Structure 1
């Protein structure tokens, strides 16, 4: 594994921007995740490959959209798509990129479970917990998008049926039991000679591939699911009574669908927002446990 960019001595006349971002603690992000994220962002792949790939990928999105006009509306090859994605991840993506992608499914499932557990109603969940890249072949990317929409539909149907809405939960009573760090190790990710493509470049490459092998409807739904970041953020902020944390969100306004051209960039923001929300919840979980230990000690 290549060394991260945070070990070199600090030069006040040439400060390292990645070191500044790493040391900054204004936003919640797990330390190991921040190091992996910034090391990946500081890679030569992102610096030199991404500026070439991004306009090409967006051009492909436009061309594929035109091609879809002539293709059967229900044509799709989801299983083939996921095999291609898994093949590319195993052979081409950086260890940091693969680690962050696998983590995302675990964290997303935990966040939905957290909201469900504290909502006061029964909600059916379909957690996704891939442990190795090949687990993604089971249409995990597609299922992730479906889970978001199904969760919102099922949660709000249950709330409406009981005439309820989400309300703040006293911190001492918040259920954090489903939250934990996934048992995924960065060192276990593929480290081949070609495993060097950074996360953002990979997502830009994968986006038109995703579009090509899914129906136009499925691709639009996947793109629009990114704007559910605000919805999920509002749910969590309501339960925790902490609306100030919504400032971290960038994928907003789910009632105003955005163009699919920027889906790759917005997907990166989606991943980062999920990591930050999970980190925030973990910090609150630790604080709750510390308060309980203190209370038991005082009582004793």
Structure 2
């Protein structure tokens, strides 16, 4: 059995309260306990405490230097397959199991959320779900496909709505059939001696690598796809008629592009926002099922 993280294993000391325990016990943000435990275990690691402060400024310096270098590199040069091989191998060999679990979950959750919007939209729109089961599945250009899927979905949805002269509206009984927990087990992820790097440090390291092996246009699009958090959040809030749940989205206005220097931090926020939105949909699906069960019994 996996050892409990220190913030759960230790006794609470009122004279020296553990901040990670406070965040874990707090229920103001919608996250299931296993996800919150994995997130906080990763966030409270020594890697994040001692390695991230050194890695982050170096990574941002590299982003600037690579941007300068790309002035003389052919505009269409890229090596996406090499990039995704490096990312998948880096995750397998160096990154913590909690971080890898959260990365793998993200593809499933994002696909389910887009499917939820598509299913409850008044106009038909197709989606392209990404559901990797092992880290090697990421080698099939999955990070790039994830960014493309998001922009393509927004374009297709709004083209369909415009053509039919319709808009998203609240749905009295939303279809939650696609919302479920991904079939991914944390214990199945690599747990070698070197699998210690936390999620935020890994993302900061991978961001300049991502920039190096993609075209400038691909990297810019990937960075700015993070600003569509509000867009997808608004779609879901409209369908659910629950605008109050937008309060924790803070990747800023999608019409105001931000510098790529903070792409690593914004990607972490994007991942957490996706987890919380999915958790909210899981809760509402359960509430709908309970209500229908009561109505049937009555």
Q: TM-score range by the shorter chain?
A: over 0.9
Q: What's the C-alpha RMSD, in Å, of the aligned pairs? A: 0.6
Alpha-carbon separation, structure 2, partners of 1:256 and 1:272: 21
Residue equivalent to 2:220? 220
Residue equivalent to 1:83? 85
Alpha-carbon separation, structure 2, partners of 1:281 and 1:163: 27
Runs of 4+ in 1 over 4 A off after TM superposition: none
Alpha-carbon separation, structure 2, partners of 1:137 and 1:121: 33
Give 1:23-172 correspondences, 5 Å limit.
23-170=25-172
Is contact 2:52-2:201 (8 Å) kept? yes
Residue equivalent to 1:4? 5
Structure 1 position 7, deviation (Å): 1.6
Alpha-carbon separation, structure 2, partners of 1:55 and 1:84: 22
Deviations 1:211-246 (A, max 9, x none): 000000000000000000000000000010111111
Residue equivalent to 2:295? 295
Structure 1 position 121, deviation (Å): 1.3
Is contact 2:132-2:138 (8 Å) kept? yes
Give SS of 1:219's match: helix
Alpha-carbon separation, structure 2, partners of 1:3 and 1:214: 39
Give SS of 1:195's match: coil
- For the pair 1:187 / 2:182, whether they are aligned, the reply is no
1:111 and 1:218, CA in 2 relative to 1: closer, same or farther beyond 3 A? same
- The runs of 5 or more residues in structure 2 that have no matched partner are none
Give SS of 1:69's match: coil
State TM-score, norm by structure 1: 0.98
State TM-score, norm by structure 2: 0.99
Give SS of 2:253's match: coil
Structure 1 position 3, deviation (Å): 3.3
Structure 1 position 120, deviation (Å): 1.7
